[in-house]
């Protein structure tokens, strides 16, 4: 079976042409098929040299893809996850973002991608969450999937939300807050962290429920088992819209009487690891300031 590689480029980032050329040279030398989306056609055409990259439409997906290479930051990897998780295709990220928790490589590490073709790598499997929106009659209205987090929030005008939170059928409490974040361990270093949530090792099977600006000194983030089923009901926000978003996209407006069910997804995101550095080392490098 022929081996193909999918190149995903965040065209909103300034990606040095030399970086793409370096990758393409590694792959051309190994004789693998290379595909990329039309949106990256300009940078691809400037970088492919004597080789050939097959450009495809945004709604297409090539056959026999062994892995994907994502050029961008964590946001680029999260967007790619929504595409690749449904096809069980692993990916490796080349960081051109501000933080880069999920990206494995920097620009100078690109030649290391040849090791993937030799099978010299590890797979880091990350859990994902499903959010099911149900109507007042119990019917399923929409399902969203996220690698980082599911967020319940109000509209453009800040008003308090009121909602009940249940875990595995047990009512934990009523919240009055600007919203709530249900984050995986992967997403614990994203929006949840900014809202005061804890940092979780991404190898943990856990969900962190973090209220956003709670109107109570007693409201604290709660870490639950990854197999827990979380339900938000009795959702109210006076004269304001309420939305559910998955990984900062796919916003769905809730109607009166809707409930939100959050649970572990059957889908996973598979990240290719080539370095020996673990999560704690990455955390130290990304979060700590200059050493004195």
**Secondary structure letter of residue 186 according to DSSP:** G
Phi and psi, residue 132, nearest 5°: -105, 125
Tokens of 207: 């969900």
74 an active-site residue? Answer: yes
Q: Rounded to whole angstroms, how far apart are CA atoms 277 and 124?
A: 13
Place of tokens 């030398």: 29
CB 16 within 8 A of CB 94: no
Q: Rounded to whole angstroms, how far apart are CA atoms 26 and 29?
A: 5
Tokens of 178: 């600007």
CA distances from 183 to 40, 76, 80, 209 (A): 31, 18, 18, 7
Q: Rounded to whole angstroms, how far apart are CA atoms 163 and 286?
A: 35
Tokens of 61: 């997906």
Q: Any idea how long the chain is? A: 292
The single residue of 74, 149, 247, 258 carrying the catalytic annotation is 74
* Helices (H), ranges, the chain: 17-30, 41-47, 74-84, 114-117, 191-194, 279-287
CB 151 within 8 A of CB 244: yes
Task: Determine whether 102 is exposed, middle or buried from the number of CB atoms within 10 Å of its CB (0-12, 13-18, 19+).
Answer: buried
Tokens of 184: 């995986």
Q: Which residues are catalytic?
A: 74
């Amino acid at each position: 079976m022929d081996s193909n590689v999918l190149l995903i480029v965040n065209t909103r980032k300034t990606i040095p042409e030399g970086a793409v050329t370096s990758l393409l040279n590694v792959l051309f030398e190994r004789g693998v098929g290379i595909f990329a989306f039309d949106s990256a056609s300009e940078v691809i055409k400037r970088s492919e040299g004597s080789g050939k990259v097959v450009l495809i439409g945004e709604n297409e997906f090539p056959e026999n893809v062994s892995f994907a290479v994502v050029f961008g930051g964590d946001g680029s990897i999260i967007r790619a996850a929504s595409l690749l998780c449904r096809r069980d295709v692993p990916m490796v990220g080349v960081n051109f973002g501000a933080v880069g928790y999920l990206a494995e490589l920097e620009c100078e590490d690109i030649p290391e991608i040849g090791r993937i073709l030799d099978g010299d790598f590890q797979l880091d499997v990350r859990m994902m969450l499903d959010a099911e929106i149900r109507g007042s009659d119990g019917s399923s209205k929409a399902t969203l999937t996220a690698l980082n987090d599911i967020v319940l929030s109000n509209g453009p005008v800040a008003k308090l939300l009121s909602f009940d939170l249940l875990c595995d059928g047990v009512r934990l409490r009523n919240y009055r807050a600007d919203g709530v974040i249900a984050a995986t361990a992967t997403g614990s270093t994203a929006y949840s962290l900014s809202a005061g949530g804890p940092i979780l090792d991404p190898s943990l099977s856990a969900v962190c429920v973090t209220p956003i600006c709670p109107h109570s000194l007693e409201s604290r983030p709660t870490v639950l088992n990854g197999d827990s089923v979380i339900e938000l009901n009795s959702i109210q926000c006076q004269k304001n819209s309420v939305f559910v978003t998955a990984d900062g996209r796919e916003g769905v407006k809730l109607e009166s009487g809707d409930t939100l069910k959050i649970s572990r997804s059957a889908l996973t995101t598979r990240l290719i690891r080539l370095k020996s550095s673990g999560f704690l080392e990455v955390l130290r490098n990304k979060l700590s300031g200059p050493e004195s």
